[in-house]
Amino acid sequence: MNSNKLMAIKKKLEKQKESLLQEAEQTLNDRIGKEKESIPDPTDQAVAELDDNFTLRLRGREQKLLKKIEEAIGRIDEGTYGVCDSCGEQIGVKRLEARPVTTLCIECKTQQEEEEKLLERKA
């Protein structure tokens, strides 16, 4: 992969990381603001708690994505980005552009998904 594409992917990852961090900060600020509110109606309070739980689950997923983004940026900095963790071959540029946090080439990812399906069927 040429250095221009690599830097474009790194920039995309850094922008996504910044966006996730801003959203997390906004969520935290919103939660602090809500804690000061009093919701007297039990139904409204239950709905608010459900919304909070849903938001926290989303943020949990985003936290995992943030970790993957940081790892991908680290691999770019180390010079190991774009190498499949499973087979050691280069990951296709189109795959990296579509999913910059990936660590598996399309062949290994397909195989992994097929193995997961087999395990689900056995369970």
Residue-number span of the structural domain to which 99 is assigned: 82-123
**Model pTM score:** 0.75
User: pLDDT tens digits for 20-73?
Assistant: 999 888 877 776 666 556 667 778 777 777 777 777 777 778 889 999 999 999
Distance CA 1, CA 93 (A): 7
For the chain, give the number of residues.
123
Task: Answer yes or no: are the C-beta atoms of 82 and 8 closer than 8 Å.
Answer: no
Residue type, 56: L
pLDDT tens profile 82-94: 999 999 999 999 9
- Structural domains of the chain, count: 2
Do 88 and 112 have their domain in common?
yes
